[in-house]
Amino acid sequence: MTDALAIHGGPPVRAASLPYARHGLAEEDVQAVVAALRSDWLTTGPQVLAFERAVAELVGARHAVAVSSGTAALHAAAFAAGVGPGDEVTVPAMTFAASANAVCYLGATPVFADVRADTLNVDPDDVARRVTERTRAIVAVDYAGQPADLDRLGALARDRGVSLIEDAAHALGAEYHGRRVGAIADLTTFSFHPVKHVAAGEGGLVTTDDGEMAVRLRRFRNHGLETEFRERDASGLVYSRMVDLGYNYRITDLQCALALSQMSRLEAGLKRREEIAQRYRSELGAMAGLTLPAVELGVRHAWHLFPVLLDLDRLAVDRRTVLAALRAENIGATVHYVPVYWHPYYEARGYPRGLCPRAEAAFARLLTLPLFPGMGEGDVDDVLAAVRKVLVHYAR
């Protein structure tokens, strides 16, 4: 392999592009969806119930309510927690915009909290500083698949009399001190987008041990109606009373059939993700020009993402150039995430730069490397070779 970077005209490490993530599909997934298509129910039917029960059993929660997307799950969870106009909800700065958008949907105000410099998970101390008498809920995001500090955040939420909503879109199957994510916070949301651990095409779900919250979640996903069609059909009711302003956030049996089939491979996928992550950590940990986010003791990281931090003082270029160089080598590196309040929508609403300095400093250095169960050892070799090639070239 020549030292010339592909971005400068040299041959790339790979002939074909390797994405940062890719869904997996097996023949049994196809057959599960076909069976649902041939059944009497295309939506709100037995596959939805079966999927909810499977996730509830997996995480050890009393209730699971499936919805149409991870964003819908966040919206529903915030509603179930009683968030409304005039309220505030603390949200990590380092997350996808949906974590904060769901707060805005209900007329409340996101209050952004900074992250820890080591793990990039939200800093409980900074959350505590930003909680006010108007705070209604705290959102904790399990960044990249590593559970947040749920003990401290849970204690803070209980002390202030607010709900803890865990955004576990990255963390299906993760564990926190021996407990599965999904039965720790007051409400936990999951995503079943194609690049997540289990794919439903699109889909989301909320778990909770609170029966009243579960009722609110089920109403919210179905226009605010007290009952769903199966209940009305069985009881002979001709209509259901609408008691909340809900949404059509229902998920189909087709999506749940796909997700149920994929659930059978969740553990194998988690193990493969961990194998890749451990190889990355072993070989990148001592590489000049990189720092790896810390992994806490006592957690099982779900490794949805593999983020790294560039040591820019040891490189002659910025993150943008390194990213472009890796992509030219056909390594589909990307970035997770820009601080939410840097988006124009939030900037226009008065959120200033400098609000969460650790999140902003991390953003300038962040890269996400490819990681998904379908990667072979040759793919991992290519990622490592490309990272080494680019960093050596741009070293000061």
Give 174-186 as a 3 state SS string: CEECCEECCCCCC
Q: What is the CATH number of domain 266-394?
A: 3.90.1150.10
Chain centroid to CA 107: how far? 23
Q: How far apart are CA 221 and CA 165, in angstroms?
A: 17
User: Per-residue confidence at 1, pLDDT binned at 50, 70, 90?
Assistant: very low
Give the model confidence (pLDDT) of 119-172 as tens digits. Answer: 999 999 999 999 999 999 999 999 999 999 999 999 999 999 999 999 999 999
3-state class of 357 per DSSP?
helix
pLDDT in tens, 182-223: 999 999 999 999 999 999 999 999 999 999 999 999 999 999
Amino acid letter, 202: E
Q: Which CATH number fits domain 27-263: 3.40.190.80, 3.40.440.10, 3.40.640.10, 3.20.20.100?
A: 3.40.640.10
Confidence of residue 237 (pLDDT cuts 50, 70, 90): confident
pLDDT of residue 239: 87
Sign of CA dihedral 305, 191, 149, 79: positive
Q: Taking the model in full, what pTM does it have?
A: 0.96
Q: What is the pLDDT of residues 330-342, one digit of tens each?
A: 999 999 999 999 9
What's the pLDDT score for residue 235? 76
Which of 136, 180, 193, 196 does the annotation list as catalytic?
196
Nearest by Cα to 193 from 208, 207, 205:
205
Per-residue confidence band for 227, with pLDDT thresholds at 50, 70 and 90:
confident
Domain residue spans of the chain: 27-263, 266-394
- Three-state SS sequence of 107-168: CCEEEEECECCCCCCECHHHHHHHCCCCEEEEEEECHHHCCCCHHHHHHHHHHHCCEEEEEC
Cα distances (Å, whole numbers) of residue 246 to 79, 122, 148, 243, 372 = 9, 30, 30, 9, 36
Q: Do residues 301 and 273 touch, judged by C-beta distance below 8 A?
A: no
Q: Residue 330: helix, strand or coil by DSSP?
A: coil
389 is annotated as an active-site residue: no
